[in-house]
């Protein structure tokens, strides 16, 4: 069996920055305690657990506004996925200290959406329902129309005015293009501002480049991580058989004996140590 480690893979700049921000907050004795994280700093259980062990209280599973109401004092950390201005001003109103780890790419999407709304555009946003990044963008204005996939297009009314389609940063860049083409049949003036971030795009391109070179792709990452799921989807849409695992313990669920060349990649929130362990475990087989 030959193992190909696909580059680039794993941590992106936005994740590294978010983790550093939290580490700095923990190390700083002036940080007002308790420290709450509004959701998972990045979608990876190993990373989140390490911070919980250092005393950070992680709230999850509810919308940000509901979680925020459970906090009465201390500091809140806004995760790399961002949050709407409404959430930030409510936190200030409650007297909470805010540490903002929003990725610059997500900030850029927020700025774009605000500008387009100001210019009178109908704004369509392609994203995953209930994902924190989508929640943050939709929180900008109730006028934003969420499109979660091709099925939603059927229900969209035709619109002849100026309109723009933009997207969650971790979607498939090919899917964004396909969706735009389909939507333009109903919304002829629909412009596209593709907001797939560079890290997501380069990881997807690297997977597509493996077409015909590998027999199987192993994507290492948390099931909640959208960019991890998109790597698996990108592989499958390009005819590459793919599986997604969380860490090396999941390898036992599969039989790899029929494969000659296996590619390994990882989502942008997967730590390098987990990827190394997967590769070492594969080699040991």
Q: Catalytic amino acids? A: 133
List 38, 78, 80, 245, residue binding ligand SF4 (CB under 6 A): 80
Report cis status (omega within 30 of 0) of the bond before 71. Answer: no
User: Taking the mean position of all CA atoms in its chain, how far away is CA 90?
Assistant: 24
CA dihedral 280, 282, 283, 284 (to 10 degrees): 90
Q: Is the dihedral of CA 109, 270, 218, 253 positive or negative?
A: negative
Query: What are the backbone dihedrals phi and psi of residue 215, each rounded to the nearest 5 degrees, phi first?
Result: -95, -25
200 binds ligand SF4 (CB under 6 A): yes
Residues 87-106 close enough to bind ligand SF4 by CB under 6 A: 103, 105-106
Residues 260-279 close enough to bind ligand SF4 by CB under 6 A: 268
Q: Which stretch binds ligand SF4 (CB under 6 A): 65-73, 84-92, 193-201, 229-237?
A: 193-201
CA dihedral 28, 31, 35, 37 (to 10 degrees): -80
**Nearer Cβ to ligand SF4, position 132 or 163?**
132
| Residue 218 and residue 263 in contact, taking contact as beta carbons nearer than 8 Å | yes
Q: Which stretch binds ligand SF4 (CB under 6 A): 11-19, 46-54, 85-93, 117-125?
A: 11-19
199 binds ligand SF4 (CB under 6 A): yes
83 binds ligand SF4 (CB under 6 A): no
**Nearer Cβ to ligand SF4, position 197 or 231?**
197
227 binds ligand SF4 (CB under 6 A): yes
Q: Is the dihedral of CA 207, 210, 212, 217 positive or negative?
A: negative
| Binding positions for ligand SF4, rule: CB under 6 A | 12-15, 80, 103, 105-106, 169-170, 197, 199-200, 227, 268
């Amino acid at each position: 069996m030959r193992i190909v480690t696909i580059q680039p893979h794993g941590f992106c700049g936005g994740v590294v920055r978010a983790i550093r921000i939290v580490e700095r907050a923990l190390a700083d004795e002036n940080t007002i305690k308790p420290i709450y994280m509004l959701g998972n700093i990045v979608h990876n259980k190993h990373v989140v657990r390490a911070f919980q062990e250092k005393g950070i209280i992680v709230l999850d599973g509810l919308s940000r506004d509901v979680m925020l109401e459970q906090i009465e004092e201390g500091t809140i950390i806004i995760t790399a996925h961002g949050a709407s201005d409404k959430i930030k001003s409510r936190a200030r109103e409650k007297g909470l200290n805010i540490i903002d780890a929003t990725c610059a790419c997500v900030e850029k999407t927020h700025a774009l959406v605000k500008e387009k709304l100001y210019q009178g555009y109908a704004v369509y946003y392609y994203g995953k329902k209930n994902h924190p990044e989508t929640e943050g963008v939709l929180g900008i204005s109730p006028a934003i129309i969420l499109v979660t996939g091709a099925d939603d297009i059927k229900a969209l009314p035709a619109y002849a005015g100026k309109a723009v389609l933009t997207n969650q940063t971790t979607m498939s860049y090919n899917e964004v293009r396909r969706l735009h083409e389909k939507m333009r049949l109903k919304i002829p003036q629909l412009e596209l501002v593709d907001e797939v971030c560079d890290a997501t795009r380069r990881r997807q391109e690297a997977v597509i480049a493996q077409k015909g070179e590998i027999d199987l792709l192993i994507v290492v990452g948390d099931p909640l991580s959208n960019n991890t799921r998109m790597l698996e989807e990108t592989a499958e849409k390009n005819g590459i058989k793919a599986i997604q695992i969380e860490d090396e313990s999941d390898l036992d669920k599969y039989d790899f004996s029929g494969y000659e060349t296996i590619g390994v990649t990882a989502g942008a929130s997967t730590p390098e140590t987990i990827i190394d362990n997967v590769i070492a475990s594969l080699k040991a087989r």
